[in-house]
Amino acid sequence: MTGTWINAAAIILGGSLGVLMGSKLSERIKSTLLGALGLFVIALGVQMFLKTSNSLITLGALVIGGLLGEWLRIEEGVTRLGGWLESKFAHNSESNDREKFIRGFLTASVLFCAGPVAILGSIQDGALGNPQLLIIKSILDGIFAMSFASTVGVGVVFSAFPVFVYQAILTLLGVQLQLIINEAMMQELTAAGGVVLMAVGACSILNLFKLRVGSLIPTLLIAPLLVWLAQSLGWM
C-alpha cells in the first residue's frame, strides 16, 4: 500500500500549502484560479470520455449509477462526513465557512477518486507491488490540491481520508481485480469517469448549474459491470 500512503500524504501536503497560500491571494486571483481549474477538469473529462468505444455503456452506467447513488444517498453521506470532520477539526462557526469546507471536501474526494489511475494504480500496487502509477497520481493530486485549497480552503486537505480508504480497499483486492478487469472494462470506466469529472468541473467547481455529483460515484462501478454483461451476452 506504498502508493496509497504517498497519495494521501501528497494531498495533505499540497492542500496544506494551498491553505497557506490562500490567505495571501486576493479574491480576484482566487476567482480566476478556480475558473481555470474548473475548465481544466472539464477538458480532462472530455478527453477521457472520448476513449469510449460504446457510448451506450457510458449512458447506461450514468443512469443506473445515478439512480443507485440517489437510493444509497451517497451525496448526503459524504456531506455528513465532511460536516463531521469540519466540526471536529476545523471549528468554523460561520455557515459560509462550513459550506465552503464541505464543498472542498466533497469536490476533491470525487475528483481524486474518479479517474482510472486511482483504480489501475491501486490494482498494480496490490497485485504487483508496483506503486509507480499511484506515485505519478500523487504528484498531480498534490498540485491540484494546492491550487484548489488556495481558493476553497482546508476541506480539500481532509479529502485525503476517503481517497486513502478507497485506494486501500482496491489495493488489498488487487490480485482478484486484476483477474477480473480487462481492457474494455477499463476503457468504459475511463469514459464514465470522464463524464463524472465534467460534472465536477461544471457543477462543483464552476457552479454552472446544480447537480448532486456525489450520487454519480456508483457510475464507476456500474460501467465495468455493464461491459462484463455485454461481453457475457456476446454483444461486445
- Residue 95: is its pLDDT beyond 60? no
Question: pTM of this prediction?
Answer: 0.87
Report the pLDDT value the prediction gives residue 4, as an integer from 0 to 100: 95
Average pLDDT of span 135-145: 93
112: pLDDT confidence band, cut at 50, 70 and 90? very high
Between 81-85, 104-108, 136-140, the lowest mean confidence (pLDDT) is in 81-85
User: For all residues of the chain together, what is the average pLDDT?
Assistant: 90
Task: Express the helix, strand and coil content of the chain in percent, nearest 5 each.
Answer: 85, 0, 15
Closest CA to 159 of 1, 3, 7, 2: 7
8 Å CB contact between 147 and 22 = no
Report the pLDDT value the prediction gives residue 94, as an integer from 0 to 100: 57
Average pLDDT of span 26-52: 91
- Residue 27: is its pLDDT beyond 90? no
- Residue 159: is its pLDDT beyond 80? yes
Average pLDDT of span 190-218: 92
Among all chains, which residue has been given the C-alpha cell 489495493?
A: 171
3-state secondary structure 210-225: CCCHHHHCCHHHHHHH
Report the pLDDT value the prediction gives residue 82, as an integer from 0 to 100: 86
Q: What is the dihedral of CA 150, 152, 154, 157, to 10 degrees?
A: -80
